[in-house]
Amino acid sequence: MSDSRELVLVLDFGGQYKELIARAVRGLSVYSEIRPGNMPIEEIKRLSPIGIIMTGGPSSVYQPGSPTCDPAIFGLGIPVLGICYGMHLMCHTLGGEVTAGGAGEYGRVTVTPENPVSTLFHETQGKPFEALMSHRDVVSRLPAGFRQTASTAVCIAACENAEKKLYAVQFHPETKHTDGGSEIFRRFLYEACGAAGSYKLDDYIDTQVGLIRHKVGGGNVLLALSGGVDSSVCASLLSRAVPNQLVCIFVDHGFMRLNEGDEIERVFSKRKLRFIRVNAQERFLKRLDGVADPETKRKLIGEEFVRVFEEESAKLGDVPFLAQGTIYPDIVESGGSYGATIKSHHNVGGLPKNLKFTGVVEPLSGLFKDEVRILGRKLGLPAFLVNRQPFPGPGLAIRVVGDVTEEKLNVLRKADAILREELDGVKNRPDQYFAVLTNTCSVGVKGDERTYSQVIAIRAVITGDFMTCDYAPIPHKTLGCISSRITSEIPSVSRVVYDITSKPPATVEWE
Ligand code: XMP
């Protein structure tokens, strides 16, 4: 990052939505980084941000060991926006009062701005709007110098000390469940922080090509390529920077969708890089034999992947550099902040530190997913790759609930292919959709025969960020068609169900 670049710090107190905040800020043309909430004040001063945003979090300010920040933050003269727990912490630290243990508010709630309208709510012109609330504690007395700027039926929904440029909201403007949330950030950035808004991706490719060449010199670079968006864009960027020095290893673990391994091979065999496909299907299946627990499955697949990759890279001889398609959220996730682990994600980027390489190249590590897609388009990757839906590292192995066998994988592959055929071209296509083999059998009737066979679940979600989602309202006619095709084209399936759960409380994947 150049010293002259405007920076907004997102201080993390364990909130699920910290990345959405940072991405919302970047989407408004201001560079943002997520840092731990207890970041030392000297470090903050050194970075000289134009604004600070304090995230929400699961704690209560009165809980022993709850995350805190250096109180001096509020005296730096830098505008601060506290969100949910960030609001509690700001008010508590500055002498206000937080009351714990009430009934709280969850879901979309009407927020009514107070007069005179806060600069944050100018876009709503003081009219009530719907906002996502997810809190138990509330601010019950404001610190000296603060005024209430919005309320709900049960709480102080926002407050501020405009003179000191300290702002706080109880709700979550970073989620799409809050109407006009982006405008609230825009007003904070451009009115309170006086941002110029100069952050853009245009010069990213040239800068990275230069940095990669400088770092690797004449050395060879090895990339673990999954065919997903991140590793594909990484491969493309590297093949532009060091085309004759790049080797891409694609480990086919056998948990890919129908024909997917061949498609990946077809695309990358044509590009300016050395492409090696490792067919490791059998050894992965053997490793998972009889394993039903989701977390164990994820761990074993991750470990086996590393083993295969180590073996293959050893065969190559002199390759001093490892490239990884790590993106910014991967770095934030592994930063060891205050959040709770919900699932351990496996990516091809998740390689151990003891691999023997002189250096690691991670040219996408400053970017969010949608920024990576923009870059992919600029690099000329085909649309089907750039717009690809997320596909988990452990692949179909975590979409077969319980233990995994080749037979089950084949059933799931067929069902998934039918689902994709039916949904790929529809208007208002869901953001992610796939089939799940539920590991449940049910009674059915085919012809005049009683059957007792597998239940397939369809999962289709609407989401912008893949961190929260709503189930997709697929028309019943389409659902009926999918169900009828799956049950008639796959003999061992006699029932199809549709998953109508949002996230939270469910997750996108079943395991
Ligand atoms: P969950 O199930 O956590 O999924 O709600 C959120 C998004 O992440 C994808 N996902 C993964 N991606 N490695 C990945 O690269 C993984 O292990 C993994 N698990 C889930 C999921 O498909 C959804 O888009």
What CATH number is associated with residue 377?
3.40.50.620
Q: Which of 230, 345, 502 to mutate to test the pocket of ligand 1 (most atoms within 8 A of CB)?
A: 345
Tell the residue nearest (CA) to atom 14 of ligand 1. 392
- 100-104 long-range contacts, Cβ below 8 Å, gap at least 24? 100/60, 100/61, 100/62, 100/136, 100/137, 101/136, 101/137, 102/136, 102/137, 102/138, 102/154, 103/136, 103/154, 104/133, 104/135, 104/136, 104/137, 104/138
Question: Domain boundary at 337, 356, 386, which?
Answer: 386
**What CA–CA distance (Å, rounded) separates 57 from 340?**
10
Q: What was the pLDDT predicted at 276? A: 96
Using one digit for the tens of pLDDT, what is the confidence trace for 132-191?
A: 999 999 999 999 999 999 999 999 999 999 999 999 999 999 998 999 999 999 999 999
Which entry of 6, 69, 84, 91 is annotated as an active-site residue? 84
Residue 505 belongs to some domain of the structure: no
Q: Which of residues 360, 386, 412 is at a domain's end?
A: 386
Ligand 1 centroid distance, CA of 146 (Å)? 41
Pairing type for strands 7-12 and 51-54 reads: parallel
Does pLDDT of 358 surpass 90?
no
Residue 346 binned pLDDT confidence (cut-offs 50, 70, 90): low
Which residues have a Cβ under 8 Å from the Cβ of 180 and sit 6 or more positions away?
123, 124, 129, 173
Question: Which residues, 6+ apart, have CB-to-CB distance to 488 below 8 Å?
Answer: none
Q: Same domain, yes or no, for 251 and 146?
A: no
Pocket test for ligand 1, best of 234, 300, 330, 343 (most atoms within 8 A of CB): 343
Mean pLDDT across 326-351: 62
Does the residue 198 lie in any domain?
no
Residue 346 a catalytic site member: no
Look at residue 391 and tell me if it is in a domain.
no
Q: What is the mean pLDDT of the chain?
A: 91
Q: Residue 446 has what pLDDT? A: 87
Indicate whether 325 and 353 sit together in one domain: yes
Q: What pLDDT, in 10s, does the model give residues 62-98?
A: 999 999 999 999 999 999 999 999 999 999 999 999 9
**CA 59 from centre of chain:** 22
Same domain assignment for residues 221 and 187: no
| Structure-token match 């600069």, residue found | 119
- Whether residue 87 is contained in a domain is answered as yes
Say how many residues make up the chain.
Answer: 511
Query: Which of 488, 405, 425 is CA-nearest to residue 451?
Result: 488
Do 424 and 376 fall into the same domain?
A: no
Per residue in 369-378, pLDDT (tens digit) is 888 999 999 9
Question: In Å, what is the CA distance from 237 to each residue of 143, 206, 272, 377, 466?
Answer: 51, 10, 11, 11, 25
Whether residues 79 and 183 share a domain: the answer is: yes
State what percent of residues in the chain have pLDDT above 90.
73
Q: What burial class does residue 410 get, using C-beta atoms within 10 Å of its C-beta: 0-12 exposed, 13-18 middle, 19+ buried?
A: middle
Instruction: Report the number of secondary-structure helices (H) and strands (E) in the chain.
Output: 14, 20
CA-CA-CA-CA torsion for 380, 383, 387, 393, nearest 10 degrees? -80
State whether 443 and 361 are in the same domain: no
Q: Do 181 and 88 share a domain, yes or no?
A: yes
CA distance 336 to 339: 8
* pLDDT score, position 235: 95
Instruction: With respect to residue 489, please indicate whether it lies within any of the assigned structural domains.
Output: yes
Q: Is 84 in the active site?
A: yes
* Total tally of structural domains belonging to the chain: 3
Atom of ligand 1 nearest to the CA of 298: 17
- Is the bond into 504 cis (omega within 30 degrees of 0)? yes
Question: If you average pLDDT over residues 449-455, what whole number do you get?
Answer: 95
pLDDT at 306: 86
pLDDT of residue 349: 44
Looking from the CA of residue 467, the nearest atom of ligand 1 is: 6
Q: Is residue 2 part of a domain?
A: no
Q: Do residues 378 and 233 share a domain? A: yes
Q: What's the rounded Cα separation, in Å, for the pair 297 and 349? A: 18
CB 136 within 8 A of CB 196: no
- Residue 463's H or E segment, with its range, is none
Find where tokens 């989407």 sit. 27
Residues 341 and 212 in one domain: yes
Is 441 among the domain residues? yes
228 plus 304 within the same structural domain:
yes
Of 146, 169, 192, the residue that ends a domain is 192
Beta bridge partners of 33: 9
Q: Which of 69, 59, 73, 55 is nearest to 15 (CA)?
A: 55
Report the pLDDT averaged over residues 485-501.
97
Higher-confidence position of 200 and 484: 484
**Number of CB atoms found within 10 A of residue 389's CB:** 15
Residue 82: domain span: 7-192
Separation of CA 345 and ligand 1 centre (Å): 7
Q: What is the CATH number of the domain that holds 69?
A: 3.40.50.880
If asked whether residues 334 and 433 sit together in one domain, one would say no
Report the alpha-carbon distance of residue 179 to residue 171 in Å, rounded.
Answer: 11
Whole-number Å distance, alpha carbon 263 to ligand 1 midpoint, is 22
Q: Are residues 377 and 425 in the same domain?
A: no
Which two tokens mark 147?
Answer: 């005024």
Rounded to two decimals, the pTM is 0.71
Cα 289 to chain center, whole Å?
30
| Residue 96 included in any domain | yes
Distances (CA, A) of 82 to 43, 56, 86, 169, 309: 19, 8, 4, 6, 44
